[in-house]
């Protein structure tokens, strides 16, 4: 059974700092990995999708990397801004029983202090 | 595309009443997921449809919950009778190509059972 862990559970940083969020998974036979952000009281917004054959994906100030062999993904946020404050979740997609199975991490709650 | 559309956005109902949540997936997506999110338990997968067929309903908490997908563009999640412990945010998500394009979430329905 796939298990996805996100550490730390909460993080508080001053504005402008570069930061890294971590996502670990136990089964390396994954199809892809997706990073989401969730603002309080809102839905999940997709940030980056990394296919199993890829090493990283970039979008603006965000960079996500994937190391399947070690079961890790990181989300790098450059020059953090107060608007980046949200909960960040990673989701790992694998295959089981002939169909896709998605496992979410418990999230990292980020606060960027002005 | 308007994304995944859920209705209603908010629902307040009395214990014992029937509640029906609705979801319209992204056109062309052949997989649909219902999730429940609470502070205590995080994001839980309730049921997963592929090509309108329920594939995995192991997350449905009990017989009071039922879900249908009569066609590729519509799904419902019904709770009958509702209980206060069902209060949560219910999300619908869809994906295409076996998850290869990632998952898109709706804005959610916040259900309060009093």
pLDDT tens string B62-110:
899 999 999 999 999 999 999 999 999 999 999 987 677 789 999 999 9
| Interface test with chain A among B2, B47, B103, by most A beta carbons within 10 Å | B103
The secondary structure of residue B25, as a DSSP letter, is P
Q: Which of B91, B102, B106 sits opposite A46 (nearest CB)?
A: B102
Please give the span between the terminal C-alpha atoms of chain B, in angstroms, as a whole number: 36
CA angle A103, A106, A109 (to 5 degrees): 140
As a whole number, the mean pLDDT across chain A is 94
State the virtual CA torsion across B96, B97, B103, B104 in degrees, nearest 10. Answer: -30
Does residue A21 register a pLDDT over 70? Answer: yes
Structure tokens, B27 = 């056109």
Where residue B39 falls among pLDDT bands split at 50, 70, 90? confident
User: Rounded distance, CA B49 to CA B39, Å?
Assistant: 25
Instruction: Please indicate if any CB of chain A lies within 8 Å of the CB of B30.
Output: no
Instruction: Please indicate if any CB of chain B lies within 8 Å of the CB of A59.
Output: no
CA distances from B87 to B6, B14, B45, B90 (A): 17, 11, 16, 9
Residue B94's nearest CA partner among A27, A88, A46 is A46
For the ranges A1-10, A95-104, B34-43, B90-99, which has the lowest average pLDDT?
A95-104
Where residue B54 falls among pLDDT bands split at 50, 70, 90? very high
Report which of residues A100 and A62 the model is more confident about: A62
Report which of residues A70 and A97 the model is more confident about: A70
CA distances from B20 to A41, A55, A113, B35, B67 (A): 20, 42, 40, 14, 9
Tally of CA atoms within 13 A in the half-sphere of B30 that contains its CB: 10
User: Rounded distance, CA A47 to CA A49, Å?
Assistant: 7
Q: Give the position of tokens 């209980």.
A: B83
Beta strand pairing call for B10-13 and B65-71: unpaired
User: Rounded distance, CA B5 to CA B41, Å?
Assistant: 24
pLDDT of the residue at B3: 92
A104, B42: Cβ pair inside 8 Å? yes
CB atoms under 10 Å from CB of B49, counted, come to 22
Mean per-residue pLDDT, A60-88: 97
pLDDT of the residue at B41: 87
């Amino acid at each position: 059974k796939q298990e996805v862990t996100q550490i730390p559970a909460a993080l508080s940083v001053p504005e402008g700092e570069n930061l890294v969020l971590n996502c670990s998974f136990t089964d390396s036979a994954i199809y892809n990995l997706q990073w989401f952000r969730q603002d309080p009281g809102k839905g999940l917004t997709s940030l980056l999708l990394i296919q199993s054959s890829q090493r990283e994906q970039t979008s603006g100030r965000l960079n996500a990397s994937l190391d399947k062999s070690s079961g890790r993904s990181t989300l790098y946020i450059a020059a953090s801004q107060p608007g980046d404050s949200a909960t960040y979740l990673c989701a790992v997609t694998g295959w089981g029983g002939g169909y896709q199975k998605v496992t979410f991490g418990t999230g990292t709650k980020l606060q960027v202090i002005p | 595309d308007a994304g995944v559309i859920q209705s209603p956005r908010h629902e307040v109902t009395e214990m014992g009443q029937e509640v029906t949540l609705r979801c319209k997936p992204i056109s062309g997506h052949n997989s649909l997921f219902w999730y429940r999110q609470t502070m205590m338990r995080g994001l839980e997968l309730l049921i997963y449809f592929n090509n309108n067929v329920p594939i995995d309903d192991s997350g449905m908490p009990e017989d009071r919950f039922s879900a249908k997908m009569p066609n590729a563009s519509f799904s419902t999640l019904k709770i009958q009778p509702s209980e206060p412990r069902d209060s949560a945010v219910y999300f619908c998500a869809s994906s295409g190509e076996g998850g290869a394009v990632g998952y898109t979430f709706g804005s959610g329905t916040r259900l309060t059972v009093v």
